[in-house]
Structure formats: structure tokens, C-alpha cells
Structure 1
């Protein structure tokens, strides 16, 4: 069945204009006024609302085996929740165990993701190094459509990548036309500080942020950026949480280096007071890495997003329920790291960004969809409202309201970091691959309807530099 959206205002990263949008067979096939469409086309009245590209969350961890347990949202429940919030594509992470074949791990994640209700793609983590990893990276890029590789600079004695691995993997990424991404925290410093906290008798969740101060993130971000400079490869820094990391990114960008930064909705809106809450279960529910920071870091992150030094927004969606978090009740280093947010990202960013004047509606679209599509080579198939693009669309009601709560959300977790926040600006309809999957509060997600999306390499890399530069082009607003 085809869909016609009538009476709305199309908003892209660089344009705003009134038009109808017609979708058929999973694609956008026409955009214009008073479109002539088949009588049996399903009609959505978007009067007074915006038509925007479906959200792209470039950082999720569905069904992740981690710290002795498995994330409670699997690829079906997590992507279904995303659809309810207007996110139609996720980029998740394949994380091989040290010594495990990258290809073997990739197939394992593909199997888990086969039940996804929305489209998905993968970054692949480099958790160890030998000649087989070098070869597997080539196979992943050339045969499986992977164009980004993740490097954890934290989690010593587990999945941490040392400097030798970074150098070799960054060089291989450059040769393949792939972009390296980094979780920037100095793993050795974190490990030592964790031992210090425990030796001082600090065993509760308050020890988590104390063992991961901003300086350990800033050092790692700067180190990774400088390694990328020497290797002459673009780099993407995930979940930037503090001024120190932002300053490292800004400095490098001002010097002409191709560096991209991602900020989480949670880091923009939740501050570190949660770790001092008298209820230890509440505090533990907020344990993630990097941790939530003080309000002055939040203010800096907003400025980074406004200035364009941070280009994308994500969630690091990785759910663990109270009984899972309880594994660390006597030792904060054993609390599974992760929080939710894939359902709430667009609404909280609209409410805290657009409604406050921090972001224009075009900048909101860029930060929640288009920039990620450009950086990871999905554009214009994703992240755009254009003829030929995938029919992943959201009809956005700027006056609609919702009070966020774990009792009513669709995420498979018993806690919500935005609990009790009433947001103005919500999706009234979500369309995924031309199918209406969310309509006025009713979710119709279909298990297995999502498809794996290959992302071509940037070959030669200099072709990619032009694409990446477009991310930073000035926003033009057409209010006709």
C-alpha cells in the first residue's frame, strides 16, 4: 500500500517548504503540491506538522553481551521502541571477543539483528590485532558493507585497544576507505583510579564518576585524534561528554583535521548529581561510560552542538534492568554500564533544543539524522526527504506532548533516565520503508521487517573528504 502525506511542511537539514510527500514500494517517489496519487493510497493529514527524515541513531547496543550479562533490549524490542520515538535506522556495534574472528562475530550479530523492526547497520570493533584482523577488515569493507571500525580505549583486561592496535587499525582503515571511531577514555588511568576508590572503601555508584574524571576522557580523545592526524585518516569520537574532549576536537578541526564528534542526549540533559542520589539503585541505574557530567560540561556540549564541532546525536542505548545492575551492589566496577534512550532522543532534543532556541528545526534534523547519514555514507538514501530516498519519514507534531516514564515507554527496561520529563514536540506518525509503524500512539512494529543496510567505503578516501565537508556547510532556511 502506498502512502501520501498531505498538508505538512517538509523540513530537511537545509530547506523548509510546504509540500505533499508520496511513498510507494518503500521509496519516496514524489514531492510537491496537490500530488495526483492512486485512490487507494493511505492518506496522512500532516496539517500543522513537519515532515522530517526518520531519525538515525549511530550508537546503539542491542542485545549486547557485556559485563557478565546481556542487554535487556534485543534487536526487536529496541528498534520497535525507536520507531515509536521516530528513529528508523540504528547503527549498532559488532564487538568480537579478543581473539575471535571479526567475520564470525559479524555473522553472530547479523543473526541477532534478523528480528529487527527497523533498518540497521553495523560498526565493527577492533578488540585485538594480528594478520587475520587485517584481512577480516578488508572482507568486512569489500563484501559486507562495513565502513567504520570502533576502538575502545577503555575496559582494560577486556576489549581495550592499545596504541599499537590503534595505529595499525587506523592505517588499515585509511587504506580501505573506512572511518575509525573511538570510545575515548584512558583505560589504564580508569583501572588505577577504580582500585584507588575501592581501597578507600568507596564501593557504591558514586565511585563510578570519581574513577572516570573528565581528564581521562580528554587525554584519550586528544591521543586518538593525534594518531589519526599522523595516519591521515578522518576520525569520529563517540559519546563526547566533557569540555576536555570537545576542546581536543575543536582544536583539531580548527587546524583543518577531519574530526567528528557525537554527543548523547543523556549527556546533554542529565547531570552528575544522579550519582549522589540517596537511593543506590537509582544511582546505579545511571552508571554508563563516560559518566554523566556536571552542568558546566553540559553547557559546553550544547555549544559544541550549536557551533558544529559536534555533528551527531546518539543514545548509546544499552539497557540493563535493576536486577542486572545489582551485580555491582558491593562493587561499582561490576555494575553493567549502560542506559536507554532510543525512544526518547528526538523528543528530548526537540524540547531542550528547538523549543529553547538552541537549535533551529533544520539543525535538529541535521543533528538527529542527516549528519550521521553523511558521515557514515548513507546519504541521501537515509537522512533526506528526496525522491528516490528510502521512505523513512516522521510526521512531527510540534505541539504534541508526552510525559516520559518507564511505565509507558516501549523500551525493555524498568528505568528511564528522563523519567517525569514532559516534552513538547513528538512524532505523530512514523513511516519505515514505506510502512506506517507508529500512528497517534499506536505501535505496529513488525518483527524482522528491518533490513541490513550496507554502507559503501569511501574510496578513494579523498572522495569521502568532500562528502564529509558537506556536513559542516552553513544551514540555509527557506521559509517559503
Structure 2
């Protein structure tokens, strides 16, 4: 199978130029001006950007949260990702207490088998440092699982203690794996939650009110200290507030290998949604919660100055009806998470590039290039270069996108951005050299997505 993309404005994190791109099978083989090479398929991309396929390093497809499982599995979630220009996801494989880490990864791979329409990799979520677990980190790293997730929140469910975190950070650093930290002071938050419930504060608005910024900042500071003692890099997921960003910025200013991501919902939504006392607010029960609007300027500044390196989605969808309603009488029982895998690119372009917050090349960097680099997939993923995977987005800057639960492809009954009209539209998405979305129509194949065994973290 060969493919020729004609007349595109090729935009990567490093370059911006007009060219034709030729693909043989699943690999870019030639880039040049006005290529005259026979091809099985030709895409006229004149007037459009040709971007590297997005890499989303934070997705929860088929994730078991105890009371329920996320509403998107690999089949529906990767189709939605493709419509948003994402061609690679790194999903979470969660260790059950006492489970061998390899068994958890095997469970994750089985969940993707025959379903994924785009390429995928796995993080391992460590919840229990059972006998031999440290050696299992070595084994997984040698097999291409080079990232580890740990929670500082949800005591008794997912949270690990500081001793466990330190030991895992230390071993991960020795084998080239990157630890991803959910930084919130879980025990203190539990006290605040119990206090609110005892006072009869049961509606969803209290989710945000019981998870203060300082609980995130304190945990971020503590994890940075543990990583420094362990002489290991560390990566913070879904950073939401200026106080936590200050901790990351200070560590980076000292030369520490500290990295962080934020998410579109923290860039575009704010805590005013919690002013609504109705159950509809359950849509915004996600963790960390949405913050006051003042934090958004700091997050955009962090993206511009490289104190924040990645924009992921933290796609963790639960339907409002039938899943979020588990917590109808107790906000602490509402499954935490929100949908977002489908619209990361459109939001970043319209609300970031067009609005003047970031440049076009910087958008590509945080959308595709740096996540590929940090998680051991660059330059196979995250760029457009000879030898790279043929994963592309033909993006029309003159088009428009309207977001609605009635038309999106995520398997969830609401949108966080209902009715938003955005500048720019995904026209065609190519994964492994084949179009999988073409002019708003899915033309891919379930099971075509490949598992990616990754190299050691390629820290900038």
C-alpha cells in the first residue's frame, strides 16, 4: 500500500514548510517538493496543515474504578480518538492487589485485542509492592513497558505510601522507566470529604470544594522530593493549578528532571460549574477538580515556557445516567472522570493557537512530539520524517467543529463542551499509512491498531 499526500503545509515541532509526503506501507519514505511518484492513494492536502498524529499518553479505556467501568473501551475510545487526530494512546493497565505486574499488562493487552483502531501502549499502575515487584519493573522495562503510574490519592483503593513510591521511583530511574504521579494528598482530602458529608453536603458541587489546590501542591512538592532522593525523573499527570505548577517550575529551575502535563478541561473550564447545586454538576466530578479561572493564565504560560510539556486528555468517561448516578446521594461515590479523547486537537488549535496562547509548532509539540519523546516512541511517533510511522492529520484551519454529545463518537451521554463552535476541523486521519477517518467518515478497521513496545523514556 502506498500513499502520496500532495501540497500540504507540513507542521512539526521543529519545522513548518510546504511539501509532498510519500508513504510506502506504514512508513514515511520521501518528503519533497512536487513529488511525481505513483501511489495507490493520493490525498490533495492543499490549503491544509499536515500534522503528526497525536499521542495521548493518558487514557482510561476499559478502566475499572471499583463501582463501574469506563464507558469507552478500546473499540469505541480509539475510534473517537481517531476522529480527533490522535493515532496513538498510552492506556493504563491496573495492578490488582498482590497481582504480578506482567499479569496486569496481559489483562490490558487482552482488552485491546481485536478492538483498537489505532496504535496503543500500556502504563502499569502499581498499587501494591508485593514480593518481587521491583524485579518485575525490570522485566517489564525490558519488554517495552517503560512507564509506571502511582496514586497519592484514594486511600485504601489506589494510593501507595511514600516508602513504596520512593522504592519504585528509584528502581524505575535505574532501568529508564518514567514514573507518572497523581499528586493529591489523599488522606487530608478524605477528612474534608467525611466532614462535608457529616454536615449534609452531599451534592456533586462539594467534590470540587473538598479537593483544594494546596492538597495538590503539597503532594507535588513531596513527590518531587522523593524523586530527587531516588535520583529519578518524575512526571505529573493532569496538573491543574498554579500552586502545583510553582513546585514543578522551581524543581526545573534547579535542573531537576521534572515533567508535567495538563488537560484541556483545566485550560478551558473552571470551578464556576460547581456553583450549580443540581446533580448535573456530576458531569464535572473529575480529579483534580476544575479550578478557579485565574489558574488558566498560569497553565498557558507553563505550556509556552516548557514548564508544562504535554497536553493529554485524561479521558475517563462515565455516563451521567446510570454511572454518575451511583453517587446521587453521596458525591464521594460518583465515579471520577470526564470524556475528552475526541477534541484535544480542535480545542488546542481554536482555543490555543487561534487565541494566541501558543504557536502552531508548540501545539504540535505538546499534542504529539513531547509525549512521544517522554514515553519512548520518538521518532517513530510524534513527527513527520523519513523513517517515521505514517501517522498524520490533515487539518483544515478554515473549517469549523461544533461539539455535541449528539454527534461525538465517545460512548458517553454528555460533553464537557456542549455546543462549542471551534475554528479548524480534522479532515483526514492516516494511521500506519492508511486513512482511517476521511471527511467525517470512519473508514478504519477494528483490530488494526498495533501494540507499541517502547524504548526507555527519551527525556528532553
Equivalent residue number for residue 183 of structure 1: 182
Contact 1:83 1:445 in 2 (8 A): no
Q: Give the Cα–Cα distance (whole angstroms) in 2 for the partners of residues 277 and 47 of structure 1.
A: 46
The within-5 A match list for 1:300-339 is 300-322=298-320, 323-339=322-338
The within-5 A match list for 1:196-207 is 196-207=195-206
TM-score under structure 2 length normalisation: 0.98
Equivalent residue number for residue 293 of structure 2: 295
Q: Give the Cα–Cα distance (whole angstroms) in 2 for the partners of residues 278 and 218 of structure 1.
A: 27
Q: Which SS does the other structure have where 1:66 is aligned?
A: coil
Q: Tell me the CA shift for residue 306 of structure 1.
A: 1.4
Contact 2:151 2:160 in 1 (8 A): yes
Q: Give the Cα–Cα distance (whole angstroms) in 1 for the partners of residues 232 and 277 of structure 2.
A: 46
Equivalent residue number for residue 63 of structure 1: 62
Q: Deviations over 1:155-200 (max 9, x none)?
A: 1111101101011101110121111110000111111111011011
RMSD: 1.0
Q: Which SS does the other structure have where 1:400 is aligned?
A: strand
Q: Which SS does the other structure have where 1:47 is aligned?
A: coil
Q: Which SS does the other structure have where 1:7 is aligned?
A: strand
Q: Give the Cα–Cα distance (whole angstroms) in 2 for the partners of residues 293 and 400 of structure 1.
A: 31
Q: Give the Cα–Cα distance (whole angstroms) in 2 for the partners of residues 193 and 298 of structure 1.
A: 25
Q: Give the Cα–Cα distance (whole angstroms) in 1 for the partners of residues 6 and 271 of structure 2.
A: 44
Equivalent residue number for residue 468 of structure 1: 459
Contact 2:203 2:278 in 1 (8 A): no
Equivalent residue number for residue 461 of structure 1: none
Q: Tell me the CA shift for residue 276 of structure 1.
A: 2.1
Q: Tell me the CA shift for residue 35 of structure 1.
A: 1.2
TM-score under structure 1 length normalisation: 0.94
Q: Tell me the CA shift for residue 138 of structure 1.
A: 1.4
Q: Give the Cα–Cα distance (whole angstroms) in 2 for the partners of residues 112 and 456 of structure 1.
A: 22
User: Number of paired residues?
Assistant: 458
Match status 1:211 vs 2:202: no
Contact 2:124 2:147 in 1 (8 A): yes
Q: Which SS does the other structure have where 1:8 is aligned?
A: strand
Q: Deviations over 1:399-441 (max 9, x none)?
A: 1101100000000000110111101112111000011011111
Q: Give the Cα–Cα distance (whole angstroms) in 2 for the partners of residues 185 and 446 of structure 1.
A: 39
Contact 1:67 1:334 in 2 (8 A): no
Q: Tell me the CA shift for residue 444 of structure 1.
A: 1.6
Q: Deviations over 1:322-380 (max 9, x none)?
A: 21000001001100011011100000011010001111110010010001011111110
Equivalent residue number for residue 3 of structure 1: 3
Q: Deviations over 1:271-305 (max 9, x none)?
A: 1112222431x200111100111101122111111
Q: Which SS does the other structure have where 2:180 is aligned?
A: strand
The within-5 A match list for 1:444-459 is 444-457=443-456
Q: Give the Cα–Cα distance (whole angstroms) in 1 for the partners of residues 354 and 243 of structure 2.
A: 28
Q: Tell me the CA shift for residue 23 of structure 1.
A: 1.2
